[in-house]
Homo-oligomer: A and B are copies of this chain.
């Protein structure tokens, strides 16, 4: 996400005095709620979805994720890279290639 976009999200919250509602727990609920509005785009069909609704709901998830990163003072690239290192170790290419098996059953 570009700096301008991040600043726009922050300003939106500040202008409305909404930081008071953005406890980490409330933001976790919000991410799940929006993730399920995204999931609703695929409720009855995997292939017949409305791309405009998907864009909006995915954007909502990303905005609340940004709110949580800000609230907890986290750096997105740092936490993602740390998790990717774990994932790369948990799913060695030779074992995981082409199979959707969870790591504890590999």
Contacts and interface: CB of A to CB of B under 8 A. Distances in A.
Interface of A: 1-2, 4-5, 8-9, 12, 15-18, 20-21, 23-26, 28-33, 35-47, 49, 51, 54-56, 58-63, 65, 68-69, 72, 74, 76-77, 79-84, 86-88, 91, 93, 96-98, 100
Contacts of A25: 42, 46-47, 49
Chain copies in the assembled complex: 4
A62 B42 contact: no
B59 A82 contact: yes
Contact of A96 (B16, B40, B54): B16
Contacts of A18: 96, 98, 100
